[in-house]
Chain A
């Protein structure tokens, strides 16, 4: 780690010495990186800002690929599938990008996915975790090999959630029954089905009911009433879209049963202000590196730079900000080794050989590497070609788990409570529930 930093500094010094030559070269022929994603959502902005910081650091260190500067061009998807396709075309046809970093949600990524195969532009996703995309890369490697997903997929994530249910909810809390509240989306239904089957068989938690709700639902009182009337030990929320609605109504209604699960709104640090300071006791999954965790030095440095540079929402980078920052560093490093982003095969090969390990106190804390073609993950027994390398078996010495559980406290603090390796806080329930 220190060695790379030293190396980067010496490159920087070197670049300063021959500044004139480098600058002239850079202005003639910059490397163009495209950003595609929603430029007004917290998540999209996290990716964009992660990319901005990475690119500025690379440029300040003297540029890449023989002193060329990087230019960042952006294309907004408005979280709309068709706009996403147009944006992808724009980046390629008009801006002639060398590489694309994406902060798209899953249906948008699926929209431009075929365009990517047509243009064959190296592309790194930081937010979509849809397993179906990875399956396409597995099934047709040659067609889609330019794609890398720099976040653990949702199948791995669900497996991790089962462990949380087994160890913490059933094991530690002694909870034996639940009602699942799942949003009616592909993500909600997929995760919900998986959880319902595995929670009972693996963790021994009885599923009293599984309530599917419409993502445009505005009134959760009947849903909570129905759930509470079944007398479960806890509620399991699965909500990735509009999750402020169920979570804020849970607080407003002071529902007398604990609730945990997936509540995407509670991942970011802005949640506290959004709820007007009433979010204490909420807990949710978050991909790593999560807000509220103790970071390794490199990630902490990224956070510091981020907070120094931006004072608007999101006030703290979401996980995908880290994914974009380190993902771009990886992609550029692979290009350096391969002699550029083209030819594609050389870059893909070098990208597959990437292994960025971030350590904290001598322990593996984070790892940005990617599953290779044909490599089998031992626990689930299947391939995850070009997905971020994750580890779903304790003690997580080969990679990070796909997610952690983030807990909000009454004083507005955010900490990690699961898995134990990353935990720095305790599970806590909302104040109106007697423990």
Chain B
């Protein structure tokens, strides 16, 4: 039982980090970025290229991954989303197509063969027959630090409060002299960075594969849908619900049903409580 708890906690931490960038864009720009999974994939592949192909140190790998996440986030926003901004449905369609295009690009460059990544931190934590990799524990800690940092940034810095203002009341923000486009751009950049960072851990945890963007995207979608619009705390709670649900399903029910409950959760919540379980709260 204790191992299920520890693993559930570690997995949930990773899921929270995976989802938070997606949540941010949704709360600030009111659009669903279905190309978000690509940031995760990009993070993994760039880290791999830097560390395992070019032989850079790990910190260089992180820098490379995060920089490319930011660049791609900014590009998605300026080239695609800004042109379609008033129409969330158009953004949803266009980003889905973009995701498939990026998937093809990754296949073209890296081939469709799955690649294993070396863990960021070596070693295994063992306790009473429980084993969890240090890599996953580090991912969990990084996730908490990143989320706490984000919360502080949004609540206590000028820039962060401006972003929050746009997310709560766009017109009001414009009146008080905030440029929503600039705030949106910043959000997409932060989202890209968070996605890529999560991607490095996700990929070391699993593997690199051109279709690896789908799984995390579904988790992120579930977190947003169940958690309601853009609450960081809500996302954190839901990430834990999903993480624990998956771990319990695998350990106690049947491993092959793991993803089924996440899908059912999305459907049920959207049909029964379209505003999410936690409704709208501050960012």
Which of B107, B207, B215, B254 is close to A40, meaning CB atoms less than 8 Å apart?
B107
A224 with B131: CB separation less than 8 A: yes
Q: Give bound CA distance, A211 to B257, whole Å.
A: 12
What mask results when residues 106 to 138 of chain B are scored 1 for a CB within 8 Å of chain A, else 0?
010001111111110000100001111101100
**Any B CB within 8 A of the CB of A52:** no
B112 with A274: CB separation less than 8 A: no
Q: Give bound CA distance, A254 to B114, whole Å.
A: 21
In the complex, which residues of chain A have a beta carbon less than 8 angstroms from the beta carbon of B202?
218
B114 with A242: CB separation less than 8 A: yes
A255 with B113: CB separation less than 8 A: no
Which of A38, A184, A248 is close to B116, meaning CB atoms less than 8 Å apart?
A248
In the complex, which residues of chain B have a beta carbon less than 8 angstroms from the beta carbon of A313?
111, 113
Q: Give bound CA distance, A317 to B232, whole Å.
A: 50
Interface residues on chain A, number (Cβ under 8 Å): 38
Residue of B4, B116, B209, B250 with most partner-chain A CB within 10 A: B116
Q: Give bound CA distance, A214 to B52, whole Å.
A: 28
Q: Give bound CA distance, A217 to B162, whole Å.
A: 40
Q: Give bound CA distance, A265 to B135, whole Å.
A: 23
**Any B CB within 8 A of the CB of A229:** yes
B256 with A214: CB separation less than 8 A: yes
A211 with B255: CB separation less than 8 A: yes
A226 with B251: CB separation less than 8 A: yes
What mask results when residues 208 to 235 of chain A are scored 1 for a CB within 8 Å of chain B, else 0?
0001111011110111111011000000
**Any B CB within 8 A of the CB of A244:** yes
A212 with B254: CB separation less than 8 A: yes
In the complex, which residues of chain B have a beta carbon less than 8 angstroms from the beta carbon of A1?
none
Question: Distance in Å from the Cβ of A313 to the closest Cβ of chain B?
Answer: 7
Given A218-B205, A218-B206, A224-B131, check contact A276 B255 (CB 8 Å).
Answer: no
Which partner residue on chain B sits nearest A231 by CB separation?
B129
**Any B CB within 8 A of the CB of A245:** yes
Q: Give bound CA distance, A213 to B114, whole Å.
A: 18
A225 with B7: CB separation less than 8 A: yes
B131 with A41: CB separation less than 8 A: no
Which partner residue on chain B sits nearest A78 by CB separation?
B112
B255 with A213: CB separation less than 8 A: yes
Question: Distance in Å from the Cβ of A42 to the closest Cβ of chain B?
Answer: 6
Q: Give bound CA distance, A187 to B107, whole Å.
A: 26
Which partner residue on chain A sits nearest B125 by CB separation?
A253
A252 with B114: CB separation less than 8 A: no
Question: Distance in Å from the Cβ of A91 to the closest Cβ of chain B?
Answer: 22
In the complex, which residues of chain B have a beta carbon less than 8 angstroms from the beta carbon of A218?
202, 205-207, 215
Given A225-B7, A248-B116, A248-B207, check contact A254 B124 (CB 8 Å).
Answer: yes
A217 with B255: CB separation less than 8 A: yes
**Any A CB within 8 A of the CB of B143:** no
B residues 1-53 in Cβ contact with A at 8 Å: 3-4, 7, 11, 52
Which of B11, B135, B254, B255 is close to A252, meaning CB atoms less than 8 Å apart?
B135
Question: Distance in Å from the Cβ of B211 to the closest Cβ of chain A?
Answer: 9
Given A214-B259, A221-B7, A244-B207, check contact A276 B254 (CB 8 Å).
Answer: no
Question: Distance in Å from the Cβ of A52 to the closest Cβ of chain B?
Answer: 18
Residue of A216, A217, A252 with most partner-chain B CB within 10 A: A252
What mask results when residues 91 to 111 of chain B are scored 1 for a CB within 8 Å of chain A, else 0?
000000000000000010001
In the complex, which residues of chain A have a beta carbon less than 8 angstroms from the beta carbon of B116?
244, 248, 274-276
Q: Can you show 28 pairs from A to B with CB atoms below 8 A apart?
A: A38-B112, A42-B113, A214-B258, A218-B202, A218-B205, A218-B207, A219-B7, A219-B11, A219-B205, A219-B246, A221-B132, A222-B3, A222-B7, A222-B247, A222-B251, A223-B255, A225-B4, A225-B7, A225-B130, A225-B251, A228-B131, A242-B209, A248-B207, A252-B135, A255-B131, A270-B113, A276-B52, A278-B118
8 closest Cβ pairs, A-B complex: A218-B206, A213-B255, A184-B256, A222-B250, A248-B116, A214-B256, A222-B251, A276-B118
* Known interface pairs A219-B205, A245-B207; 16 further A-B residue pairs with C-beta atoms within 8 A, sorted by A's residue number: A40-B113, A212-B255, A213-B250, A213-B258, A219-B206, A222-B3, A222-B7, A222-B255, A225-B131, A226-B251, A242-B207, A249-B206, A252-B119, A252-B124, A252-B135, A276-B117
Residues of B near any A CB (own CB < 8 A)? 3-4, 7, 11, 52, 107, 111-119, 124, 129-133, 135-136, 202, 205-207, 209, 215, 246-247, 250-251, 254-259
